[in-house]
Structures are given as structure tokens and as C-alpha cells.
């Protein structure tokens, strides 16, 4: 039997969708028994959500004042301490997971497997390399603990049809004091989270300025969409860093991705290749984005976007 621990991600009393996708990945491990660990000062609400995920047997709550803010340096020693009872420890390939899981692996003394996109066996996994242009098969030595991040764009979220047992636990671990929470700055504008949104509207350098990005914001609000940006747009100062989509930004898999004024460099395509439907709007008919788009519109975005907004009104 494989005993799998999933480190759940949550914020503001809600379980992040990345956790449900990790459950789907973990369930593909032969003979897997799944548990979700939640760290916070009061994890009652996200624990209820986690307990409903199909395939989860237990939800472990580790409520402690030190866990009020999700600091990787604080949570990692706790995860390492409880990992002894598990064969696998998984976390999402989100900002949270990428910060936390390498620390856990180092504390346990194993090599982390990054971005699992498919499970072949309890010790054999597939992950993308070279910006997703090649797939690498990784096999862990038998008997070694597996610590890994899950490429959430590669998995559907587990359905909420379960009824797992919820347990409050305490862990004996030395919590570091050299790391402390100072403040949190967020660009939250009331729109869906970029990594979990069903619809994403992204803009490129062709928008020309941060003011012109307001064209996207207005349409996104009507669609209930998140707003992203290409690296070129971020580097030009038109959009915030946390909006970047692509190899060096966020890997996403929305139901609908609308690329506006984005040429389609390979680094950007890496971040959206798992989107269900891709729509491209670009005045350059030879732009690489059209090669992978399901629907393409050749036209000036400054003409197309106002017309689109009128149709949505």
C-alpha cells in the first residue's frame, strides 16, 4: 500500500483548487491511501472542503498560531516530521508548493520530483522538460520516500463526493524563528485567481501601455474571467509580475483562454498548452499563436475589443 500525504493549500478559509487536482494525481498511484494535511491557525473551513474530495480517507488539521501565515520555512519542518508515516508527500506546483516542497525534501534527505504530469507506478512518473517540448520519465529508487510537486494543469480536480474523517493533530517539530511574516501585498481586484479560473483573458506587448490593459479588465469583469499577461507585457511594465503566464510565470489550464495581442513565443505557449479552448486575437496573420489556437481572429485589437465589449453588454 502507498500512503500518500497531500499538503493542502488554502487561504481566507477556502481550499485552493490545486489541492483537488493533487488528489486526482495521488489517486492514480497504485494502492494509494490518501490524507490531506492542512496548516493554519484555524483550518476548520478548508478541512470541511477537503473532507468532501473523493478518494480522501483522512484530513489532518495542524492548527497553531505559528501557521497563521503560510510561511514555507515554518511549515516545512512540520511536514518533514509527519512524513515518516507516509510513502509519498505531494504538494501543488503553485507558488505555495514550489516554495514549500523543496524544503521538505531537503529536510527528509531526498531529491524532489518536480511537476508530475502523469503517474506510471508508485515510483515512476512523467514530467515536462525543455519548456514542455519533451517528456522525461523519472523513477525513484525502491524504498525511498517520494517528495514531489504536481503539475496541476495536467489534472482535473477531484469531485466533491467524499466524506473523509477530519482529525486535529499536533506535531513535534522545531519551528524556526529566523523567518517572520511582515506583510502581504496583493493585486486582488475581485477577479478569479489566475491559476484556478475557468476563463482567462491575457494581453501582450501589443496593448502598448498599462492604461490600455483596462480594455481587458472591463471585458474580463463581464466574462467573470481572470486577467493574465505575456512576459513581454510584464517586462514592459504594462502588467504586474503575478499576472505573467508562461514558462517563467504561471502554468494554467482554463476552459477558455483568450490571447489578445500575444504573438505566441514558445515560453508563453508552455503556460497555456493544457487550456481546453484557445482563442487568439492578433493583427499579424503569421503569428505563431494561430498555430495552436482553436479559434483565431485577425484584426486590430483596438478595434476588436471595443466591439467585443459592446456585444457582452
| Span 124-171, pLDDT tens digits | 999 998 877 899 999 999 889 999 999 999 999 999 998 999 999 999
Read off φ and ψ for residue 243, nearest 5 degrees.
Answer: -95, -5
3-class DSSP state for residue 149?
strand
pLDDT at 247: 87
pLDDT band, residue 189 (cuts 50/70/90): low
Mean pLDDT of 196-212: 95
pLDDT at 288: 95
pLDDT at 40: 96
Q: β-pairing, 113-116 with 165-168?
A: unpaired
pLDDT for residue 188 is more than 60: no
pLDDT band, residue 186 (cuts 50/70/90): low
pLDDT for residue 249 is more than 80: yes
3-class DSSP state for residue 180?
coil
pLDDT for residue 187 is more than 80: no
Domain spans of the chain, in order of start: 2-168, 199-312
Burial code (b: 16+ CB inside 10 Å, e: under 16) for 139-167 equals ebeeeebbbbbbbbbbbebbeeebebebe
CATH architecture of structural domain 2-168? 3-Layer(aba) Sandwich (3.40)
pTM, two decimal places: 0.86
**CATH topology assigned to domain 199-312:** Rossmann fold (3.40.50)
- Mean pLDDT, the chain, rounded, equals 94
pLDDT for residue 81 is more than 70: yes
193 to each of 16, 30, 94, 229, 263, how far by Cα in Å? 10, 32, 12, 14, 24
pLDDT at 53: 97
pLDDT for residue 306 is more than 60: yes
Amino acid at each position: 500500500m502507498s500512503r500518500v500525504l497531500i499538503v493542502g493549500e488554502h487561504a481566507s478559509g477556502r481550499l485552493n483548487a490545486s489541492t483537488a487536482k493533487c488528489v486526482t494525481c495521488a489517486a492514480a498511484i497504485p494502492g494509494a491511501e490518501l490524507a490531506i494535511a492542512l496548516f493554519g491557525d484555524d483550518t476548520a473551513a478548508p478541512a470541511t472542503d477537503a473532507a468532501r474530495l473523493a478518494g480522501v480517507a483522512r484530513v489532518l488539521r495542524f492548527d497553531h498560531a505559528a501557521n497563521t501565515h503560510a510561511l514555507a520555512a515554518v511549515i516545512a519542518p512540520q511536514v518533514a516530521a509527519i512524513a515518516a508515516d507516509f510513502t509519498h508527500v505531494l504538494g501543488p506546483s503553485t507558488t505555495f508548493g514550489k516554495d514549500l516542497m523543496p524544503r521538505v525534501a531537503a529536510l527528509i534527505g531526498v531529491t524532489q520530483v518536480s511537476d508530475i504530469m502523469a503517474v506510471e507506478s508508485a515510483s515512476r512518473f512523467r514530467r515536462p522538460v525543455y519548456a514542455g517540448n519533451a517528456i522525461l520519465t523519472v523513477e525513484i529508487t525502491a524504498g525511498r520516500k517520494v517528495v514531489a510537486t504536481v503539475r496541476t494543469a495536467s489534472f482535473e480536480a477531484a469531485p466533491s463526493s467524499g466524506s473523509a474523517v477530519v482529525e486535529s493533530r499536533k506535531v513535534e517539530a522545531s519551528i524556526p524563528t529566523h523567518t517572520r511574516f511582515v506583510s502581504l501585498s496583493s493585486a486582488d481586484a475581485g477577479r478569479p485567481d489566475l491559476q484556478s479560473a475557468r476563463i482567462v483573458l491575457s494581453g501582450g506587448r501589443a496593448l502598448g501601455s498599462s492604461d490600455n490593459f483596462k480594455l481587458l479588465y472591463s471585458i474580463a469583469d463581464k466574462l467573470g474571467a481572470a486577467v493574465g499577461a505575456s512576459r513581454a507585457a510584464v517586462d514592459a511594465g504594462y502588467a504586474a509580475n503575478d499576472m505573467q503566464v508562461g514558462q517563467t510565470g504561471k502554468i494554467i489550464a482554463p476552459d477558455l483562454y483568450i490571447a489578445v495581442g500575444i504573438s505566441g513565443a514558445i515560453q508563453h505557449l508552455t503556460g497555456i498548452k493544457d487550456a481546453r479552448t484557445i482563442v487568439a486575437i492578433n493583427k499579424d496573420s503569421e503569428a505563431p499563436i494561430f498555430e495552436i489556437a482553436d479559434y483565431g481572429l485577425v484584426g486590430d485589437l483596438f478595434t476588436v475589443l471595443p466591439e467585443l465589449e459592446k456585444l457582452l453588454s
